[in-house]
Amino acid sequence: MRMGVFLIAAGFPGRDAGEVLRDTVEAVAVAEEAGFDDAWIAEHHFMSYGVCPSAATLAGVALGRTSRIGVGTAVSVLSTRHPVDLAEQAAILDRVSGGRFTLGVGRGGPWVDLEVFGTGLARFERGFGESLDLLCAALGGGTVSAEGEFFRFRPVPVVPPARLRPVVACTSAATVALAAERGLPMLLGMHVGDAERAAMIGSYRTASEGLAAENGDDGPGAGGRDGGGDPGHVGAAVGYVADTTERAVRELREAMPGWLGPGLAGHVAVDGRPGPRRDIGAYVDFLCDTHPVGSPGRCVEMIARTAAATGLRHLILMVEGAGDHARTLDNIRRLGEQVLPEVRSL
């Protein structure tokens, strides 16, 4: 198992946004000390759910503070960015860090971000595939050009050149299909359970195998794809350890609703459609019931259960659930000491 931490830079009540960002970088450094393989930083705009508006920028700071751990974005919102600009930033981080950077991208949502940054609802609704293809071309090294609906420009060299493969956040069948068509690994969110993640991985495999057959590929790796195998999908989950499962659940139930309620309400749609609505208490219960939350033994059990049910071999744990920085660092250290050694051989 490959194990990482997932840092939302969560804006819990009473916390200063600048302090949260500094604490996020410190959490990456502590995760390196604790033995985690990587740390992934989320990106959100104009809301308290997550107060980092540029995951790539904060990843650069974190890479500068560390020497071994991988750092990724989970995710950079592609619908509000020019793909070549994002590829250039990724190339810098890849080169300067010695290959420790991973670019995760996602479609995002129909939020006011599209209006503020001028990319528009049309590009969100039907331009993600074009944006993803242009990003992949720019990350492939050499020269890139565009003659599409949303991007049109003459050939230009990408400097510095990079050879990176992005990870794609998938929350819908359409995005799963896009990732499979391009042979790109998926990032699967913590808001769904193992059964749904297993179904998405199954859909990806079916699509990949179908494309391989159409192209006359003979097996794994043919045509630049994996022939239906695991290309390195990543799954996100809450990770929170305490002396007992009862204490871990109680601490999250006390802390998380005060963050999730106002945070999720911060999604403002660009076209007036209703934002996401959740029963916050029920959602916290779901996270505690289905994710590695509890005693060290229960955390190991839940990680093993997810690995067996989904085939995932790379999990990233959201460690900020208590809303207290000192407790977050303690959580990272305890997970490193008491959980990671037990799950490495799964």
- Measured CA to CA in angstroms, residue 121 lies from 152, 172, 178, 271, 273 at distances of 18, 18, 19, 8, 12
Beta bridge partners of 143: 157
Helix (H) or strand (E) holding 314: strand 314-318
pTM to 2 decimals?
0.95
Question: Do residues 88 and 152 make contact, with C-beta atoms less than 8 angstroms apart?
Answer: no
Helix (H) or strand (E) holding 239: none
Q: Identify the structural domains of the chain with CATH numbers, from first to last.
A: 2-343 (3.20.20.30)
For 293, half-sphere exposure in the C-beta direction (CA atoms, 13 angstrom radius) is: 24
* Full pLDDT tens readout for the chain, 346 residues: 999 999 999 999 999 999 999 999 999 999 999 999 999 999 999 999 999 999 999 999 999 999 999 999 999 999 999 999 999 999 999 999 999 999 999 999 999 999 999 999 999 999 999 999 999 999 999 999 999 999 999 999 999 999 999 999 999 999 999 999 999 999 999 999 999 999 999 999 999 999 888 887 654 443 334 444 568 999 999 999 999 999 999 999 999 999 999 999 999 999 988 877 889 999 999 999 999 999 999 999 999 999 999 999 999 999 999 999 999 999 999 999 999 999 999 8
